[in-house]
Structure 1
């Protein structure tokens, strides 16, 4: 469990208000239970997913997209599980739900399409970098971690937009980091807020940790690699949109033991998948 010291009450107060941020869908929670129960089988998971036709259709659309690039069409959930695994399929369910639910939050400060495009790019780039890491097989959740990494910002803009705008103005006026401005304006930052939300949802700890320690992978314990991958992908994705904010990736690449030569390949891979995966997440 992540704790937030003296800021915890303020975070919980914000989440407890009029914006109803319900738990993830039942199908996601039931798949988590199946994964944790050695007596359960993939057939149990298949039945859970197929009981929700809308979710099953979205999953098959993503599984058949450029995200995986399978040479043949995957036409059944059982085949999808065999090809990508139950854990990754569960994470894709979370991805589609988060996009749908958070796109409904009211805000006047963000272009939602642009916001989600950067988030999808971040997830894809984190995944592309992870695929080039020596521990790639243990880093399969980074796409959804990247997709989720800015959801706290959406809650801020929906619940306390005036204060969110004030933090933006303070960042520009004093030339300070955004999270420092947020902590000064409302006592916590949007990554702390998102981590508390993930904890409330009972998400796997990798999601809580990559949110809580975004930008500080050295503090993320056993999830340091995932946190570093999402942090690096986020900075590179923002640089694609705002070239003036380009960052030097050397320190994070060294932290991950990744060569600089992998960056152009990872960027090209993520960009090639972006449009199709973005459409797959946003269609009904």
Structure 2
């Protein structure tokens, strides 16, 4: 490697740091292990969920084979339906599956193996704020799916949920590959989320969206997920998957709006609204006013129930 590519040599004659070279970024990202679960998510259970002949007992039996999934199912249903009350707790997987419904079970199937593998991937990043990262990621995943359910676009392969779940994966990859730069960026406080994107580009050379998209592309993840994650902060630039990118942008914004900020030390200004976002205009800008009001009402209902869901899934 050329000396020009080392981090120690990133100071110009004026004392200002220059961004990393593409060569160094690609080299480091390529060294990150692959996430096997991105390509194989509990095929047996998904087959059961898709079958017209499935019974809750069968589904529960398969869930019991996965201790991590069992724990998340029980934690989620107790949090959502019973909150902090100790006098009533569900302890059986079959009963929990009835309470949650197949859609929420399917989301847990998608999330659990990915969460565990990403935790393993970043196990040496001791200072990484995992709880903040996952609450924001899972909240964004749930909302991405809910937002897209209000459109004409449907996803049969969990791509909408997985894209929402992984939209900030580039931040973890940055923490693994360049921990000092990660700390430099995310220990700061800014007024706007856009300030962090600008800092990433200025200090690293790529922002977290591009880092995450490249990592996923390098491991042969579907183009729709890669492109949507790449452009989730600027969805109009997506050539083929603007709706998915736009839904992630709106979901990300709303998740921060309700107080689940993720890693950035900034607050979403109270006078900002998701209706003003580029992603919202891509998704619903051409709808009639009456239809938009119904969409907003449905989405606001989802927002009201997202907090207990997040408490249960972590």
| TM score, norm. by length of structure 2 | 0.62
Please state if 1:247 is matched with 2:272: yes
- 1:106 is matched with 125
Query: Where does residue 21 of structure 1 map in the other structure?
Result: 33
Counterparts of 2:244 and 2:206, CA distance in 1: 23
Cα 1:142/1:208, change in 2 over 3 Å: same
Please report how far the alpha carbon of residue 200 of structure 1 lies from its aligned counterpart in structure 2 after TM superposition: 2.8
CA distance in 2, matches of 1:145, 1:65: 27
CA contact (8 A) 1:132 1:262 kept: yes
Alignment of 1:151-162 (within 5 A): 151-162=169-180
SS at match of 1:221: coil
Shift of 1:234: 0.6
Aligned residue runs from structure 1 range 77-226, under 5 A: 91-92=110-111, 95-98=114-117, 100-101=119-120, 104-108=123-127, 110-136=128-154, 140-168=158-186, 172=190, 177-226=195-244
Structure 2 SS opposite 1:9:
helix
**Change over 3 Å in CA distance of 1:52–1:21 after alignment to 2:** farther
Cα deviation, 1:194-221, whole Å, max 9, x if unaligned, reads 1122123322222211221121222222
1:83-114 deviations in Å (ceiling 9; x for gaps): 55xx9787445544455435635143x53212
What is the distance in 1 between the residues matched to 2:248 and 2:217? 18
Question: CA 1:201 to 1:132, structure 2 compared with 1: closer, same or farther past 3 Å?
Answer: same
Sort the Cα spacing of 1:102 and 1:166 in 2 relative to 1 into closer, same or farther, 3 A.
same
- Change in CA separation of 1:103 and 1:175 when aligned onto 2, cut-off 3 Å: closer
Q: Work out the CA distance in 1 between the residues paired with 2:238 and 2:171.
A: 21
Q: Distance in 1 between matches of 2:160 and 2:271?
A: 22
Moved more, 53-62 or 188-197: 53-62
Cα distance in structure 2, aligned partners of 1:61 and 1:97:
17
By percentage of residues, which structure has more helix?
Answer: 1
After TM superposition, the structure 1 stretch with the greater mean CA deviation from structure 2, 228-237 or 249-258, is 249-258
Contact persistence 2:142–2:161 (CA under 8 A): yes
Aligned to 2:295: 262
Counterpart position of 2:263: none
Once residues 248 and 190 of structure 2 are traced to their aligned partners in structure 1, the CA distance between those partners, rounded to angstroms, is 24
Aligned length: 262
- TM-score, normalization by structure 1: 0.68
Q: Post-superposition shift, 1:232?
A: 1.1
Q: Which residue of 2 aligns with 1:9?
A: 23
1:222 aligns to what SS in structure 2? coil
Change (3 A) 1:237 1:74: same
Partner of 2:66: 53
Distance 1:276 1:169 in 2: 28
Distance 2:163 2:75 in 1: 17
Larger-Rg structure: 2
